[in-house]
Structure 1
Amino acid sequence: MGRQRPDTPTLEEVAARAGVGRGTVSRVINNAAGVKESTRRLVQQAIAELGYVPNLAARSLAGRRADAVALVMTEPDWRQFAEPFFSEIVRTLGDTLTETGLQLLLTLVRSDTERSRFLEYARGGRVDGVLVMSVHADDPLPDMLAEARLPTVLLGRRSGDESISYVDADNVGGARSAVTRLVEQGRRAIATITGPLDMYAAQCRLRGYQEALDLAGLPGSASLVAEGDFTEESGRHAMAELLSRHPEIDGVLAASDTTAAGALTALRAAGRRVPEDVAVIGFDDFPLARRTDPPLTTVRQPLEEIGRAMVRLLQEEMEEPSVAWRHVILRTELVVRESA
């Protein structure tokens, strides 16, 4: 067997192997016009024989594309990756990007070290744009990407003053419609289990809950609010805590379907019937909502539309980097099933 090369081949070595100039090799790599087909084949053969890998940073500086988009997941809690929301969004974005010819690269960025490393990677021309999901209020990554002039679109937003391009659902309106249904059913002691309140989506769903109570003239109380983290476990614990404080609870809005599933488990353990004693509404409309006992009334987020809108905005920023940031908020829909 021959001795393995101690380092990667250079552009000059490819040129020497093909018997052409360095500029000709560069034009072939960048798929530029003006190269004879026979010469192009010689260069491509030399690249294959030497195992040459083009310098992506140099191609980026030359105005070329990597034909890849990074999906950055910034959630520091590993449990969150088991939640349906993540898999549904990844699937939707992957399907949408397949139609564009862009490759989807999934990466986790959860610390200062990982942020710096990813920023260096992205600035090196390895991706044409960045999609960011699960952003918390104090996450500096979107601003770092903006300062680096990298096309970026967020799923959701860090606050009501978000300047980076984003696509979001109408979380306030969705929560308001859910609580309004509970009120219309005659529920008067309505509680809510929120998501993590350092996330703007969770804050908005809490605001919608409070607005609906105000509109109905029902008294609000901090003791009717329990903070969760979108997981089933947090829903179970929060529901048990709420029942201990307010045994009279007859309606619950949970900030996600998985949280609602946990609440159903706690209500069953406490001997409460759903919906006869306590009506429960979730948020998201994942397949899980149809499998709970009873099937879950929930607020549907238009995940397919969200994915398509994110890709569309990112492509627009990739084509016109100087355009203003864009903000898109999509409508939600209350899906009525047996739990409320």
Structure 2
Amino acid sequence: MSASRKSGPGRKATLHAVAERAGVSLATASRALTGTYPVASATKARVTEAAAELGYVRGKRVPESDHRLPTVATIVNDVRQDFLIEIVSGIEQLVTGAGHFCLVGSSGYDLTTEFAMLDALVDDPAIEGVIVAGGVYDTEAYRTGIRKRAKRYAEQQVPLVFCGRPGVEGAPVRIVDYDQAGGAASAVSHLLSQGHRRIAYIRGPEGFTTSEGRTEGYYSALASFDIPVDQRIIKTGERVRATGYQAAKELLSEGADITAIFAESDYIASGALTAVRESGLSVPGDISVIGFDDLGLAQETWPPLTTVHLPFDELGRAAARLVLSPPAAGSGRNRSVFGTHLVIRESVRSLW
């Protein structure tokens, strides 16, 4: 990153530029200028001098009387989703601790809305970085649009971070993701190791990055045991409880000779659990069920759900760190992938 954000209409020096000039972290620069936390006098003087040299004014075009703090914005698909709430909580912990304001907005899974939010935020002089959390429909329109916007963010030197979303070739963004395929493969491999061979899969929508990653894991686990994919026992829908309920009902009414269900998410799994019980079968006595995400509800279902655990709050903190302490170009720290692990509860039984 160069010494100052490139200027556009009305653009002034950013807090990032001040931090780099003073040789301190973004958080330290913020604390030195806002006075919200104690900072060594020599450090404060260095930051103040850098701000004066660059013409930085806290809040930039915002009147000082408004006391507007530098802001980190997060865009999510749906603020009601438990896993996104956890990610945002992790972001907020670091952002507010650094003396910044945390702004959260929802796109409602609408690409036009997401792009409009990105366009508005890059032009807001108080915004010091933007995090986009959650999957997306991977279309050509999305890839083209995100490349254009990511390049603008890079030109303006506003960090743009994807959290729980893969990157796009040619788009200069920072990435915090997790091993979707590996997590799904571990779940299906666990069922296979317990003797299950007819494993139905209830997945989310076609083209959605989260769903595609987990589907890859399902396929790879079957392949590792030389088991052919049977499309008749794969059901596609939305990433909601109703999909799991309806899909499991269909599988059972069609007489599918399955012994287990792998659900792409805990929401879907909870619906499948209900459908199996309503059909007069038991979990795991007749059908084993396994989920993905390890949301709070996974411990509250009956039986408690075996699932893949994701460290959502840590994903959020890692994304926030990429904004607050941007790694140097070429450092290899602009992308990180978190691992997953399986949490064994009571919804899977061995057939051996």
User: TM-score scaled by structure 2?
Assistant: 0.72
1:53-92 → structure 2 map (5 Å cutoff): 56=59, 58=61, 67-73=70-76, 75=77, 80-92=78-90
Structure 2: which amino acid aligns with 1:327? R
Q: Which moved more, 1:147-156 or 1:297-306?
A: 147-156
User: Which residue does 1:338 correspond to in 2?
Assistant: 346
Give the SS at the match of 1:218: coil
Distance in structure 2 (CA, Å) of the matches to 1:335 and 1:256: 14
Partner residue in 2 for 1:48: none
Take 1:86 and 1:133, find their aligned partners in 2: how far apart are those partners?
Answer: 7
Listed as ranges, the matches of 1:1-340 within 5 Å are: 56=59, 58=61, 67-73=70-76, 75=77, 80-109=78-107, 110-112=110-112, 115-116=115-116, 118-136=118-136, 137-138=138-139, 139=142, 140-141=145-146, 143-149=148-154, 150-158=158-166, 161=169, 163=171, 164-317=173-326, 326-340=334-348
Are the equivalent residues in 2 in contact too, given 1:175–1:206 (CA < 8 A)?
yes
Q: CA, structure 1 residues 114+310, in 2 after alignment: closer, same or farther (shift >3 Å)?
A: closer
Match of 2:15 in 1: none
User: Could you say what the CA RMSD is over the residues aligned between the two structures, in angstroms?
Assistant: 2.9
Q: Distance in 1 between matches of 2:278 and 2:113?
A: 44
Q: Structure 2 CA distance, aligned partners of 1:268 and 1:202?
A: 26
Count of residue correspondences: 281
Partner in structure 1 of residue 10 of structure 2: none
Same amino acid, percent of matched pairs: 33
- Any unmatched runs of 5+ in structure 2? 1-32, 35-40, 42-56, 63-67
In structure 1, list runs of 5 or more residues that go unmatched: 1-29, 34-53, 60-64
Q: Distance in 1 between matches of 2:70 and 2:328?
A: 16
Structure 2 distance, partners of 1:154, 1:117, is: 15
| 1:113 to 1:101, Cα distance in 2 relative to 1, 3 A | same
Q: Secondary structure at the match of 1:106?
A: strand
Single out whichever of 206-215 and 239-248 deviates more from structure 2.
239-248
**Aligned partners of 1:66 and 1:127 also within 8 Å:** no
Contact residue 178 and residue 338 of structure 2 kept, 8 A: yes
Larger Rg, first or second structure (1 or 2): 1
Question: Given that residues 94 and 321 in structure 2 are in contact (C-alpha distance below 8 angstroms), is that contact kept between their aligned partners in structure 1?
Answer: no
Write the deviation string for residues 280-327 of structure 1: whole angstroms up to 9, x where unpaired. 11101111100000000000011132112111122233x768977822
> Taking structure 1 as the reference length, what is the TM-score of the superposition?
0.74
Query: For 1:30-87, what per-residue CA distance to the aligned partner results, in whole angstroms no more than 9, with x for missing partners?
Result: 88x9xxxxxxxxxxxxxxxxxxxx894547xxxxx952100012x3xxxx54331122
Q: CA deviation at 1:171?
A: 1.0
Q: Is the 8 A contact 1:83 1:231 kept in 2?
A: no
**Hey, which bits of structure 1, 4+ residues long, moved more than 6 A?**
321-325
Kept after mapping to 2: 8 A contact 1:168/1:330: yes
The answer on whether the counterparts of 2:74 and 2:103 sit within 8 Å (CA) in structure 1 is yes
Matching residue of 1:38: none
Shift of 1:113: 5.8
Alpha-carbon distance, 1:249 to partner? 1.2
Shift in Å, 1:197:
2.7
1:85 match: secondary structure: helix
